[in-house]
Amino acid sequence: MTVRRSDHAERRRAIVEAVRGAGRMSVLDLVGVIGVSAETIRRDLAVLDRTGLISRVHGGAVPFEGAGYETTLSYRSAHLVAEKRRIARAVVEELGVVQSLFLDDGYTPLLVAQALAEADWPVTVVTPSLPAAAALAANERHTVIVLGGLVREKILSTSGHWVREILADLVFEAAVLGSNGITVEHGLTTPDPAVSTVKAMVMARSRRRLFVGVHTKFGVNSFARFAGVADFDALITDRGLAPFAARRFESLGPRVLRV
């Protein structure tokens, strides 16, 4: 595909579509796809980043996860995997011998589920994530409750009013929650208001609340807010989060663990 050089709007639309299709693209990748210079691509990425259509990263761009777009589980399982595994191990250590747990959907929570599957104490886990439930069910000590509802194809988890109805009668010792973005100003956000509502319900029903996510989640706003930073006991991330940024989040109350 080659876009006419003079058509800025069409070229930038093509860039957004290409980045969303690939999940992540370098400047050089986009030069080959769009057919313009690297300098033009960089200028376009700067514009698209300011307007919230993509997020710039070193050497290229990734999709912005807003109201109209969310990355797939397969994409998440192919990026920053080592960091996510370290986070998952740290979460299990932080939880200790917990008895009842809400475990969110997403790839990092799935890694938490795989780590918990090796635990030698019984725990009751409630989750909307089908892969996480399957991983936990491998340990016969554990009790696994899958929240019923519509299946979100991209990340294989459930949502909808059935999920909210079940949650209304439950209380958790701890909750492990992810998000698509977390900022000091706007807290934690997701692309889908229905998912945001479920996460907010879990927050209200949990004694301890842990956020899990790689450093690229920090400083990003998505669409629907479900909690403030101060609502969490700990934020567990990787060392890609700069120390000065960690201190900003810690000033609001939670501990920040960079692993």
Q: Cα(9)–Cα(192) distance, rounded to whole angstroms? A: 27
Domains of the chain, residue spans:
8-64, 74-258
59-74: average pLDDT: 68
Task: Measure the CA angle with vertex 193, ends 15 and 204; round to 5°.
Answer: 135
pLDDT at position 67 is 47
pLDDT at position 223 is 87
178-189 confidence digits (pLDDT tens): 998 999 999 999
Tokens of 30: 């986009």
* CATH 3.40.50.1360 is the classification of domain 74-258: yes
43-57: average pLDDT: 82
pLDDT at position 127 is 98
Residue 188 phi, psi (nearest 5):
-105, 135
Q: What is the mean pLDDT of the chain?
A: 90
Confidence of residue 5 (pLDDT cuts 50, 70, 90): very low
CA-wise closest residue to 25 among 72, 62, 80: 62
Q: Cα(222)–Cα(173) distance, rounded to whole angstroms? A: 28
Looking only at the bridges linking them, the beta strands covering 150-152 and 157-159 are antiparallel
140-153 confidence digits (pLDDT tens): 999 999 998 889 88
Q: Which residue has the higher pLDDT, 99 or 7?
A: 99
* CATH 3.30.420.310 is the classification of domain 8-64: no
44-54: average pLDDT: 82
Adjacent-strand bridge partners of 189:
181, 225
